[in-house]
C-alpha cells in the first residue's frame, strides 16, 4: 500500500500522522518507507539530522538519473526508512515546467524501486500543487487529516475535486482510505459539534480513531523519536497505534 497523507490546509496534523503512522506500521513488522514531499522537511527532521542529507526527494523526482533508492536513509526505528526532503523541493514545480511527465515522476520512481518497501507513507505539503498531485498519482490510498477546529472543513471541497480529477485519468483506483480527526479536545462542546459536522459530511469514511490533543505529540520530533519510544504511555501513542490497526483493517478488507 502507498498512502498519501494530504490536505492543502496547513498545520492540520499531516506530518504528525505520517511520522507516527509510518513508525507504527514499521513497529508492527512491516518494512516501511516514509517519503517526505514537503519542502519544510518536517517529517525528515523528525528522524534524521538534515546535515547528513545530500540528496533529497528534489533530486529523485527532478532528475531522471537520480534513483529514489539512492536518497533513502535508515532511521533508528526498526523497519523504517525515510526518503528525505530539503528546502530545494520548493523549486521543483518551476524545474518541471513543460515536462510532459511532471505528474508521473514519483510514480515512475516508485516503479523502479519495485516491491522493496511494501508499505509506503507519503507526507504532502500544504498545497494542491505538483507535489501533492505526484503523491496522489502514485498512491493507492489517501488519508485526509482534518483538524478539530472551527474551520475544519474549509477547503475540503477543493481537495475532493483534485482527488476526482486524479481518479478520472491518471489513477482511477485511488481510494480515500479515511478522514482522520486530529487535535481533538474531548472536553469541549465545540469539538463535539465539529466531530458531528465532519461525520455528517464524510460518513463512514471517518476513522473511528480520533487523535486527541497531546503535548507529547508536539514534543517528540524535537527528540528525533516517534511517539512510541518518546512517550509510549501517552494518549498520542495509543491513538496512533489504534489508527494503524484501523488502517491495516481497511486496506485488507478492500483487497480480500
Residues that bind Mg ion (CB under 5 A): 14-15, 42
How far apart are the C-alpha atoms of 41 and 123, rounded to whole Å?
9
Question: Does 185 participate in binding ligand ATP (rule CB under 6 A)?
Answer: no
Interaction partner, residue 232 (ligand ATP, Mg ion, none; CB < 5-8 Å by kind): none
Interaction partner, residue 39 (ligand ATP, Mg ion, none; CB < 5-8 Å by kind): none
Count of residues in contact with ligand ATP, rule CB under 6 A: 18
Question: Does 183 participate in binding ligand ATP (rule CB under 6 A)?
Answer: yes
Question: Does 227 participate in binding ligand ATP (rule CB under 6 A)?
Answer: no
How far apart are the C-alpha atoms of 93 and 88, rounded to whole Å?
10
Question: Does 126 participate in binding ligand ATP (rule CB under 6 A)?
Answer: yes
Interaction partner, residue 211 (Mg ion, ligand ATP, none; CB < 5-8 Å by kind): ligand ATP
How many residues would you count in the chain?
256
Interaction partner, residue 59 (Mg ion, ligand ATP, none; CB < 5-8 Å by kind): none
Question: Does 39 participate in binding ligand ATP (rule CB under 6 A)?
Answer: no
Q: Is 191 exposed, middle or buried (0-12, 13-18, 19+ CB in 10 A)?
A: buried
Question: Does 14 participate in binding ligand ATP (rule CB under 6 A)?
Answer: yes
Torsion over CA: 147, 153, 159, 163 (sign) = positive
| Residue 180, strand partner residues | 145
**Piece of 7-15, 48-56, 94-102, 161-169 that binds ligand ATP (CB under 6 A):** 7-15
Q: Is 82 exposed, middle or buried (0-12, 13-18, 19+ CB in 10 A)?
A: buried
Question: Does 211 participate in binding ligand ATP (rule CB under 6 A)?
Answer: yes
Given 213, 224, 229, 246, the residue binding ligand ATP (CB under 6 A): 213
Alpha carbon 113 to chain centroid, angstroms = 19
8 A C-beta contact, residue 90 and residue 126 = no
Question: Does 38 participate in binding ligand ATP (rule CB under 6 A)?
Answer: yes
Given 6, 13, 60, 180, the residue binding ligand ATP (CB under 6 A): 13
User: HSE of 38 in the Cβ direction (CA atoms, 13 Å)?
Assistant: 27
SS3 110: helix
Q: Record the cell numbers describing residue 6, joined without a space.
A: 494530504
Question: Does 62 participate in binding ligand ATP (rule CB under 6 A)?
Answer: no
Least separation in angstroms between CB 253 and ligand ATP: 26
Question: Does 217 participate in binding ligand ATP (rule CB under 6 A)?
Answer: yes
Amino acid at each position: 500500500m502507498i498512502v498519501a497523507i494530504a490536505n492543502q490546509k496547513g498545520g492540520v496534523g499531516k506530518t504528525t500522522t505520517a511520522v507516527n503512522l509510518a513508525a507504527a506500521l514499521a513497529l508492527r513488522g512491516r518494512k516501511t518507507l516514509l517519503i517526505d514531499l514537503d519542502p519544510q522537511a518536517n517529517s525528515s527532521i523528525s528522524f534524521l539530522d538534515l546535515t547528513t542529507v545530500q540528496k533529497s526527494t528534489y533530486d529523485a523526482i527532478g532528475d531522471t538519473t537520480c534513483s529514489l533508492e539512492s536518497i533513502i536513509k535508515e532511521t533508528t526505528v526498526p523497519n523504517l526508512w525515510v526518503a528525505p526532503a530539503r528546502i530545494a523541493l520548493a523549486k521543483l514545480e518551476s524545474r518541471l515546467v513543460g515536462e510532459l511527465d511532471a505528474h508521473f515522476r514519483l510514480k515512475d520512481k516508485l516503479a523502479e524501486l519495485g516491491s522493496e518497501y511494501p508499505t509506503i507513507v507519503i507526507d504532502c505539503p500544504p498545497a494542491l500543487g505538483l507535489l501533492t498531485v505526484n503523491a496522489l498519482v502514485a498512491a493507492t490510498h489517501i488519508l485526509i487529516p482534518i483538524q478539530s477546529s472551527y474551520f475544519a472543513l474549509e477547503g475540503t471541497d477543493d481537495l475532493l475535486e483534485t482527488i476526482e480529477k486524479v481518479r478520472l485519468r491518471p489513477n482511477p483506483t485511488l481510494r480515500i482510505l479515511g478522514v482522520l480527526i486530529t487535535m481533538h479536545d474531548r472536553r469541549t462542546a465545540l469539538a463535539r459539534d465539529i466531530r458531528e459536522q465532519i461525520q455528517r459530511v464524510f460518513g463512514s469514511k471517518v476513522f473511528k480513531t480520533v487523535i486527541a490533543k497531546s503535548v507529547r505529540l508536539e514534543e517528540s520530533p524535537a527528540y528525533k523519536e516517534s511517539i512510541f519510544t518518546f512517550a509510549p504511555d501517552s494518549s498520542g501513542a495509543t491513538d496512533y497505534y489504534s489508527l494503524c490497526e484501523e488502517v491495516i483493517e481497511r486496506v485488507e478488507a478492500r483487497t480480500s
